Structure 1
Amino acid sequence: MDNSGHFRKGAKPRRNQQQQEMPLFDDTSGAGQGFSAYGNPQMMPPNQGQYGMNPQQNFPGSQMLADPMANMAMQYGQTLAGQGKEMLEKNVDRYISVSKLKYYFAVDTTYVARKLGLLAFPFTHQEWGVQYQQDTPVAPRFDVNAPDLYIPAMAYITYILFSGISLGILNKFSPEELGMQASSTCVWLAIEIAIVMFSLYLVNVRTDLGTWDIVAFSGYKYFGMIVILAAGLSLGSTGYWAALAYMSLTIAYFLVKTLRLKILPHSASTDDFTQGHGGKRRLYLTLSISMVQPVFMYFLTRQLVPGSS
């Protein structure tokens, strides 16, 4: 962050202990917005006695709550629930970092709209660097260039729904067929992620790509597949091929621009990306990841539009 208070793009700023961290999510709990006043027994709403009743005596179940045994049972249940939640979080954290996963779902409506616009029209976008606060990237809702998992997850679900509509139009719909479509899509995504991670291991280059980053970038193609299916169902095979050509170009361009900064170390220059120091390997890896997306998009949609296969 510079002296003006703005984030720097594409570089990790120095750590500032006095810098206030930006929360991943907005606080909508309503704490401190009038609820605490009524939590005080001495501060009740002005109309609490208009019918001459005592709320504590006429509240349903008040006698049961006043029973010491009932209070002990409630406290014991709360203790068990807290212990169960703690054990669940520990077991989940062994395989999945929940704190890291929350980062990729820290989005809002504005971010989703801007991100979809970026995926559909990436050619006019200028700044591709990710903003950093201290040593970590800011939440996606603060930076349209940050990867997220919300759009890939919602796009996958929408793609499955479109697949069901397409199968119904083709008179091929059945629960088993739809389940096969959903499971095969997940399998191909897992294979793609495994290949990318293995390729990163083979090229042996320093990169900022994490596992969830790869999942996010691999999942953005589902948005393009939705557009392709919508065009194919409404305009036929001509619309399908036109949408496939355009969305393949946009997804490939988006990934080239984004992965170029992820695979290229922050300390390296642009010349290092194309010349020496593993630059060619980085370039080939970036192009391979970007160019394989249209292949998956065609393979996963060709059977769902009449006249496309």
Structure 2
Amino acid sequence: MDLPHHGHRATKPRARAGPPAGDPMLFDDTSSGGPQMTNQGYYNSGYMSGPPSAGAGAGAGAGVGVNNLFTDPMANAAMMYGSSIANQGKDIVNKEISRFVSMNKLKYFFAVDTKYVIKKLMLLMFPYTHQDWEVRYHRDTPLPPRHDLNAPDLYIPSMAFITYLLLAGMALGIQKRFSPEVLGLCASTALVWMVIEVLAMLLSLYLLTVHSDLSTFDLIAYSGYKYVGMIFTVLCGLLFGSDGYYVALAWSSCALMFFIVRSLKMKILSSLSSDSMGAGASAKPRFRLYITMAIAIFQPVIIYWLTSHLVR
């Protein structure tokens, strides 16, 4: 009887059994498609023939991130919610502004074009040859400024105000006196003078019971036209010194006074016929003429006050 031999015995290699059908794999099988060691000692990937470039990987990652952002329902919902909040805020702001300012009326004062702006600037600097100063109407509605040269606008005053501030900053910089505080003081002083001037005109018209079609926007426009003359005055002062400044100041002041008197004359004095039957009617024309002349004479004072410190 042969005894069993306790040496090594050849065993058959076991076949690797795959996972049972229907059971999920805990790990992906990378035996065939994963990176494999070659004879040279490099890893060979089954997905690409060469080493991946950093630029390509970054671009692909960014593209995937953008696609995920636009396909993510939570991101889309957040964007829609933000847009709705922005629209609601815009409506609230427009509603609050409409309580104090009529947007349609404000759009009327900015209805200008290039042709109107050029002609109006020439009229402000050379008003002496202009003959017809009456504002034109269409069905009891004044024509917009681009169709009527005599209509007041707010585009030229606002742009002239900004230009005046830029020119003031340049003048202060040339004289080595520029600072944000000084420029802010120039802007606030100009705005305060305009507010005082408009309030004084409104109070005078109210106390004298002048019934005219002048609105607050009209008074702001006529008060803001002085910035055109101020720009001309400061430029001449910077280019030609003090002599050029005073010559330009005299010219722009006379032109603005003539423009204001002829423009407001059609607005303030044109309502005399409707008030001529009231008590004290004989004194009203004189007082209205005084108001018009006071407004015109006050313009050179403000021009000198706001420009004299810029030219030395």
Q: TM > 0.5 between the two?
A: yes
Unaligned runs of 5+ in 2: 1-64
- What number of residue pairs does the alignment pair up? 245
| Cα deviation code 1:51-83 (max 9, x no counterpart) | xxxxxxxxx978977888777666555544433
User: Is 1:90 the equivalent of 2:84?
Assistant: no
Residue 123 of structure 1 aligns with which residue? 128
User: Is 1:301 the equivalent of 2:307?
Assistant: yes
In the superposition, relative to structure 1, how do residues 178 and 70 fare at CA in structure 2: closer, same or farther (>3 Å)? closer
Letter in 2 for 1:292: F
Contact 1:64/1:70, CA 8 A, preserved across alignment: yes
User: Is 1:230 the equivalent of 2:224?
Assistant: no
Trace 1:43-58 onto structure 2 (pairs within 5 A): none
Trace 1:76-155 onto structure 2 (pairs within 5 A): 76-155=81-160
Contact 2:234/2:311, CA 8 A, preserved across alignment: yes
Q: CA deviation at 1:268?
A: 3.0
User: Is 1:190 the equivalent of 2:195?
Assistant: yes
Residue 258 of structure 2 aligns with which residue? 253
Q: CA deviation at 1:264?
A: 2.5
| Cα deviation code 1:164-208 (max 9, x no counterpart) | 122122222111111111111111111111111111111111111
Unaligned runs of 5+ in 1: 1-59
Letter in 2 for 1:117: M
Residue 289 of structure 1 aligns with which residue? 295
TM-score after normalising by structure 2: 0.72
| Cα deviation code 1:128-185 (max 9, x no counterpart) | 1111121211111111111011111111111111111221222221111111111111
Equivalent in 260, 279, 285 of residue 279 of structure 1: 285
Contact 1:208/1:265, CA 8 A, preserved across alignment: no
In the superposition, relative to structure 1, how do residues 230 and 74 fare at CA in structure 2: closer, same or farther (>3 Å)? same
TM-score after normalising by structure 1: 0.72
In the superposition, relative to structure 1, how do residues 76 and 161 fare at CA in structure 2: closer, same or farther (>3 Å)? closer
In the superposition, relative to structure 1, how do residues 61 and 127 fare at CA in structure 2: closer, same or farther (>3 Å)? farther
Q: Which one has more relative contact order, counting CA pairs under 8 Å at least 6 apart?
A: 1
Q: Quick one: distance in 1 between partners of 2:167 and 2:310?
A: 9
Q: Quick one: distance in 1 between partners of 2:211 and 2:244?
A: 41
Letter in 1 for 2:169: G
Letter in 2 for 1:114: K
Specify the SS of the correspondent of 2:309.
coil
Q: Quick one: distance in 2 between partners of 1:64 and 1:177?
A: 48
Specify the SS of the correspondent of 1:201.
helix
RMSD (Å) for aligned C-alpha atoms: 2.6
Q: Quick one: distance in 2 between partners of 1:157 and 1:70?
A: 42
User: Is 1:158 the equivalent of 2:185?
Assistant: no
